[in-house]
Homo-oligomer: A and B are copies of this chain.
Amino acid sequence: MPYVNIKITREGATAEQKARLIKGVTDLLVEVLDKNPATTVVVIDEVEMEHWGIGGLPVEKYREALRNASR
């Protein structure tokens, strides 16, 4: 009966990769807590880069700052 929400930035994850996330999380819940896969719901949200912030910046700007800092 678990509900799992996975939020990732929209960066080209394929249908196959998303299916692996769904299977992997469901298997994990079976293995660790013996949950029933038939009532385990997994919802993936792909978030636009402009909508994801870290370090006070939109993620692309944050990564750019990290790259510049490491030069």
Contact surface of A with B, Cβ cutoff 8 Å: 1-9, 13, 15, 17-29, 31-33, 35, 37-47, 50-59, 61
Contact = CB atoms under 8 A, between A and B. Distances in A.
B19 A57 contact: yes
How many copies of this kind of chain does the complex include? 6
A21 B17 contact: no
Contact of A56 (B3, B7, B22, B58): B22
A42 B17 contact: no
A22 B45 CA distance: 19
10 contacts: A1-B54, A8-B35, A19-B61, A21-B32, A24-B24, A24-B32, A37-B55, A41-B53, A43-B53, A44-B53
